[in-house]
Amino acid sequence: MTLQTASEVISFAKKLEEDCAKFYENLAQRYTNDREALLSFANENRRNIVLIERAYYGVITDAIEGCFSFQINANKYMFETKLAENASYNAALNKAVEMEEKIIKFYSDAAEQSKSLMADIPRTFAMIAKKRNIRSSKLKSLQRL
């Protein structure tokens, strides 16, 4: 599935954030040791949705190439959030890292492709990608040896 319009890309970003938030909430329920950290990731995802919406709705204009900016292959960034019943905590964290890497790639690609749009949109995408890089490191640090 190729996303071409700004509206599609924003909706897709929101879906990634929401799916990801639910994944962390599920993890927080199952693995209570790092509950607070995992819930903070979910909260941050929901804040990202607000940031994305604010950037898009704040600067969308019919004069810029809103319908013609993107060629995003959505399939490349989709991820599975279902965990096996008996998955270990480390396995769950590995899955989270994989998921984050896909999302980082999505935001980086979207930032690159949206350079012709008003600056707020690529800047927001790039900022979220940067925050997620930090999160990815945190996830790795949570892994038990």
Rg (CA), the chain: 16
Structure tokens at 73: 């292959």
Q: How far is the CB of 77 from another protein (least distance, A)?
A: 16
User: For another protein, which is the closer residue by CB, 36 or 62?
Assistant: 62
At its nearest, how many Å lie between another protein and the CB of residue 7? 4
Q: Counting Cβ atoms within 10 Å, is residue 128 exposed (0-12), middle (13-18) or buried (19+)?
A: buried
Residue 134 interacts with another protein (CB under 8 A)?
no
Report yes or no: 8 and 113 within 8 Å, Cβ to Cβ. no
User: Is residue 124 at the binding interface for another protein, with CB under 8 A as the rule?
Assistant: no
Q: Which of 37, 39, 49, 59 binds another protein (CB under 8 A)?
A: 59
Closest approach, Cβ 29 to another protein, in A, equals 30
Residue type, 126: A
